[in-house]
Chains A and B, each alone.
Chain A
Amino acid sequence: MKKRFSLKSILLTASAVCAFQLSASSYAVDSIHFLIPGGAGGGWDGTARGTGEALTKSGIVKQASYENMSGGGGGKAIGYLIENAKSNQDTLMVNSTPIVIRSLTKVFPQNFRDLTMVAGTIGDYAAFVVDKDSPYKSFSDVVDSFKSDPKKVAIGGGSVPGGMDHLVAAMAFQAAGEDPIKVKYIAYDAGGKAMASLLSGEISVLSTGLSEAIALADAGEVRILATTAPERIPAAPNAKTLKEQGVDTQFVNWRGFFAAPGISQEKRQQYITALNKMYETPEWEAVRARNGWVNIYNPGDDFTVFLEDQEKVIGDLMRKLGFL
């Protein structure tokens, strides 16, 4: 369930504007208008407001404003930005992996190529989690059990079939040499409910985001079997990657920013410079730590290459699974 409200946005905008009427003119960008394709309180909202907070408080950007435009699974905001490109030169739209998935499934007609790709800023790897008393000790135990009877291995997640949690599971089994179509994926409407059903024994493996998995593992109820990171990450030194366990696949759920189509190369560079500077600031570190985000910086053309690659991997898999 998503609840939205505008009071918070007014307060935050006001405080962001009031607090930093600095006289210095050394801003990388004068003002940024953040377009948020979902309601207040969600992941996109937090990313945009957190980034805006760090940029203004550290004096990189003079002022930031925010606009929530929900509807159409994010499609409404994308359409708006494309149609009104000329009057939105100062706008940055936040988005994440679903823009790739949803344009593949034609939830909206546009895709990321219709926008100016600025940078991927943060991300979260995926993870497979089991109950602390589970007989599975490694990812290959799960694969073995899958080999004997795929129907016995119920994998749950907090996204729809064909959504991220499902695709990651299918991807991992495909990389382990199994048939991804046979993966028995059980969808829950929220991560918390999927977690409860893991503990109650309804599902045997949970596919979820790594930062969420770390919080759960810290509570002592579950074990992380594998992560989709390229190498072990400092926050969870004991969590083995899939690659270490002989399953050669990686996945990152990124969040990043897009500008209106056709903005000047110079303007795009300004945004990239501003974001680049942001990582060094204590203000960003405070925001990042508060939200438990992982810095995965992917600016400019690298971002384009990354997105095209992700689109190909996900597209191939979805075609195989019959979602396209």
Chain B
Amino acid sequence: MLEGLMIGLSTALSLEMLLMVIGGCLIGTFIGMLPGLGPMSIIAIMIPVAISIGDPAAALILLAGVYYGAIFGGSTSSILINAPGVAGTVATSFDGYPMARAGKAGKALTIAAVASFCGGTVGAILLMGFAPMLASVALLFHSAEYFALMVVGLSAIAAFAGNGQVTKALAMTLLGLMLATVGESALFNMPRFTYGMLNLQSGIGFITLAMAMFALPEALFLILDPSRSKSSSEQQQAIKNLRISKQEAKSIAPVVGRQSVLGFLIGVLPGAGATIASFLGYAVERNLNTNSKDVEFGKGSIKGLAAPETANNAACTGSFVPLLTLGIPGSGTTAILLGALIALNVTPGPRLMVDQPAIFWSVIISMYIGNLVLLILNLPLIPYIAKILTVPRAYLIPFILFFTLMGVYIGQNNAVELMILIVLGVLATIFRFAGYPLAPLLIGFILGPMLENNFSRSVQLFDGISFLWERPMTGGLLAIALLLVLLPTCRHWLEQRKKAITANS
């Protein structure tokens, strides 16, 4: 292994390769900030460029740089304008955007950058040390376990069910699950709930819904409520402030540590990936957050920002385990990477490490370097990026609306998507006025198809629902989900009782 590591180091550290990483990171970061373009599209754009380089190691290093850059860029639009362009950064906006609204955009971006760096780096180290061993972990989960894992992911909703809003949060989750059933599904031959409309055939696009639920109502609220966007000169200073205090660093350190490992392991599973990792990370950390002095989750908590950011980056690295060791793409992005690898005459699989050690190791080393380069490149840029928010309202709102509309159109080249966006956006604004949380709807929408598909596959395989008790891991995961939902409620109830007792005495 050490020998391979040295080959990888010497390949990845040459000037040419370093330039590839830096170029890739920059391209990825800037294109990734546009809401409509996630890592998958950007990598697809860059593949012809990478293939024309010819050298597989250089091409992969470039693509890895683009990948990391795009993930980082994606969280920027979530934090600054509440427009998560990919499902993996939805959870980032839960606390990132409230922080930006509170005038702490610079700090939020810094935490996101540092958390991403840690997640990615720990992931790369785990990948380096344990990739061949982890190949078997990737195959541990059957559909039944994936179903249970989605249920655990749904428990992140509990975070939005506080303050007696349980019914509202559940109603929104159900609405999200229902919206997810529109169109052709992976398991049914017939399209559902399209009412004969061709444009609903492929279902409602994720980006369309995310923009309609988050970015559009936000822009409308900025118009309706001028006080939301007023920023004093003091706040303008704070926006650019990147500094994380020692205390803050201390409070997010354990979060980052836990989520790096958890996120990586979730990423290794071919049917889970960065989105599940980020929701799960958010749900777990919310439950572990017993210190009542901290800001509540969902209202601008730094832990709530660090958890999903760490987890989704670690998961992205983890998704390379099945790709490099088994040749199985676990996500859309790795599927595209697999295509590029095959075009470069590299066959990923158990023999890659033996047959082409230079490629295997330089990819892993470049992941580490990519993360480092990203951090170094981006920290000085953050004050400038954050400054977008100090742009006067009259210019900022059209800017947000433009990016929202463009993001939706660019994905499908279909103008009908824009109409769907506006209808859903108006609905979302009404929901917000009525005090219904919108995040559960989006979580339900994202997890819905995976929940349904894995459940129906398991029912088909087991001729019934006996998998719920016949497979111990499924039962275990479901028990964890139950705990995650019930614990905060119990804790709340106990506190109330304690208060009542002290008040009585």
- A residues contacting B by CB (< 8 A) are 1-8, 11-12, 39-41, 68-73, 75-76, 79, 105, 107-108, 151, 154, 160-163, 184, 186-190, 192-193, 195-197, 199-202, 215-216, 218-221, 290-292, 323
B349→A163 contact, CB < 8 A: no
A160→B187 contact, CB < 8 A: yes
Contact of A7 among B45, B199, B202, B336 (CB under 8 A): B45
**CB pairs A–B below 8 angstroms (27 shown):** A2-B202, A3-B332, A7-B45, A8-B44, A12-B48, A39-B411, A41-B336, A70-B413, A70-B414, A71-B198, A72-B201, A73-B184, A154-B461, A163-B189, A186-B457, A188-B453, A189-B186, A196-B270, A196-B271, A196-B330, A200-B140, A202-B143, A202-B461, A219-B326, A219-B327, A221-B326, A221-B327
Q: How far is the CA of A195 from the CA of B185 in the complex (A)?
A: 19
Contact of B348 among A184, A190, A219 (CB under 8 A): A219
CB neighbours of B291 from chain A (8 A): none
What is the CB-to-nearest-CB distance from B134 to chain A, in angstroms, rounded to a whole number? 14
A202→B191 contact, CB < 8 A: no
B350→A75 contact, CB < 8 A: no
A192→B41 contact, CB < 8 A: no
B327→A151 contact, CB < 8 A: no
Residue of B48, B326, B327, B350 with most chain A CB atoms under a 10 A cut-off: B327
Q: How far is the CA of A215 from the CA of B351 in the complex (A)?
A: 13
A105→B190 contact, CB < 8 A: yes
Asked if B65 lies at the interface with its beta carbon under 8 angstroms from chain A, I say: no
B40→A215 contact, CB < 8 A: no
Asked if B342 lies at the interface with its beta carbon under 8 angstroms from chain A, I say: yes
Minimum CB distance partner of A289 in chain B: B343
Minimum CB distance partner of B143 in chain A: A202
Minimum CB distance partner of A101 in chain B: B189
A41-B44, A107-B201, A219-B348 given; A202·B142 CB < 8 A: yes
B186→A188 contact, CB < 8 A: yes
Asked if B38 lies at the interface with its beta carbon under 8 angstroms from chain A, I say: yes
CB neighbours of A108 from chain B (8 A): 198
Minimum CB distance partner of A40 in chain B: B44
Minimum CB distance partner of B51 in chain A: A290
Minimum CB distance partner of A323 in chain B: B189
B350→A4 contact, CB < 8 A: no
Minimum CB distance partner of B329 in chain A: A192
CB neighbours of A195 from chain B (8 A): 328
A197→B44 contact, CB < 8 A: no
Minimum CB distance partner of A291 in chain B: B343
- B residues contacting A by CB (< 8 A) are 36-38, 40-41, 44-45, 48, 51, 138-143, 184-191, 198-199, 201-202, 270-271, 322, 326-330, 332, 334-336, 338, 342-343, 347-351, 410-414, 416, 449, 453, 457, 460-461, 463
| New A-B pairs, 20, CB < 8 Å, besides A75-B201, A188-B453, A196-B326 | A4-B41, A5-B45, A6-B413, A39-B412, A40-B44, A70-B413, A71-B201, A73-B191, A161-B187, A188-B457, A192-B270, A192-B328, A196-B270, A197-B143, A215-B342, A218-B347, A218-B349, A220-B351, A291-B343, A323-B189
B327→A162 contact, CB < 8 A: no
B342→A220 contact, CB < 8 A: no
Contact of A196 among B36, B189, B328, B463 (CB under 8 A): B328
Residue of B185, B191, B271, B416 with most chain A CB atoms under a 10 A cut-off: B271
Contact of B41 among A41, A186, A190 (CB under 8 A): A41
CB neighbours of B449 from chain A (8 A): 189
Q: How far is the CA of A189 from the CA of B449 in the complex (A)?
A: 10
Q: How far is the CA of A107 from the CA of B198 in the complex (A)?
A: 9
A190→B343 contact, CB < 8 A: no
Q: How far is the CA of A114 from the CA of B411 in the complex (A)?
A: 29
Closest 3 CB pairs of A and B: A219-B349, A72-B198, A189-B186
What is the CB-to-nearest-CB distance from A178 to chain B, in angstroms, rounded to a whole number? 19
Contact of B142 among A5, A68, A197 (CB under 8 A): A197
Q: How far is the CA of A193 from the CA of B453 in the complex (A)?
A: 12
B328→A199 contact, CB < 8 A: yes
A160→B188 contact, CB < 8 A: yes
What is the CB-to-nearest-CB distance from B254 to chain A, in angstroms, rounded to a whole number? 32
What is the CB-to-nearest-CB distance from B205 to chain A, in angstroms, rounded to a whole number? 10
A186→B327 contact, CB < 8 A: no
A40-B44, A70-B414, A190-B335 given; A161·B189 CB < 8 A: yes
Q: How far is the CA of A4 from the CA of B191 in the complex (A)?
A: 21
B411→A3 contact, CB < 8 A: yes
CB neighbours of A218 from chain B (8 A): 347, 349
What is the CB-to-nearest-CB distance from B131 to chain A, in angstroms, rounded to a whole number? 15
What is the CB-to-nearest-CB distance from B30 to chain A, in angstroms, rounded to a whole number? 13
What is the CB-to-nearest-CB distance from A290 to chain B, in angstroms, rounded to a whole number? 5
Contact of B412 among A70, A160, A200 (CB under 8 A): A70
Q: How far is the CA of A231 from the CA of B405 in the complex (A)?
A: 51
Q: How far is the CA of A162 from the CA of B326 in the complex (A)?
A: 29
B270→A219 contact, CB < 8 A: no
CB neighbours of A292 from chain B (8 A): 342
Q: How far is the CA of A4 from the CA of B417 in the complex (A)?
A: 13
B413→A39 contact, CB < 8 A: yes
A220→B349 contact, CB < 8 A: yes
Q: How far is the CA of A125 from the CA of B387 in the complex (A)?
A: 55
Q: How far is the CA of A34 from the CA of B411 in the complex (A)?
A: 19
CB neighbours of B191 from chain A (8 A): 73, 107
CB neighbours of A151 from chain B (8 A): 463
Q: How far is the CA of A69 from the CA of B184 in the complex (A)?
A: 18
What is the CB-to-nearest-CB distance from A2 to chain B, in angstroms, rounded to a whole number? 8
